[in-house]
Amino acid sequence: MTVLLTFTLAAAVTFALRAWMTVAGGRLVESPRFAELTALVTPAVLAAMIASALLLGHGRASVPATGAVLAVLAAFWTVRRSGNVAVGLVVGLVVHALALGVGLS
């Protein structure tokens, strides 16, 4: 149980560090021109992170797990409804954890 908790905590911290600039980046931009030029960077980074996590296993293309697909769909739906990427990331993580808990790996 300690190993599982340690890996879960490490995964959460790693994900938070990766996603922090993506989520907070919109608030850090002051120049309207810069904001216009980089408007699609955040969605592109998130899409790349999600695609690589879903479709690559041990460096090879793989079929995504059902739980991961459900988590992505839940996160997407949440972002579309709320307009808040941070809330979508949290919902996706919770759905993924629940899916793993019931055996949808």
pLDDT for the residue numbered 90: 92
Q: Judge whether 103 and 67 are in contact, CB under 8 Å.
A: no
CA 48, 51, 96: angle at the middle one, nearest 5? 115
Domains of the chain by residue range? 2-101
Give 40-97 pLDDT, tens digit per residue. 777 788 888 878 877 777 777 778 888 888 998 999 999 899 988 889 989 999 999 9
Single-letter code of the amino acid located at 21: M
Residues 84 and 23: their CA atoms lie apart, in Å, by 9
Give 27-40 pLDDT, tens digit per residue. 665 667 767 767 77
Q: Judge whether 87 and 78 are in contact, CB under 8 Å.
A: yes
- The SS3 of residue 18 is helix
pLDDT for the residue numbered 82: 92
Would the pTM of this model clear 0.85, i.e. be above it?
A: no
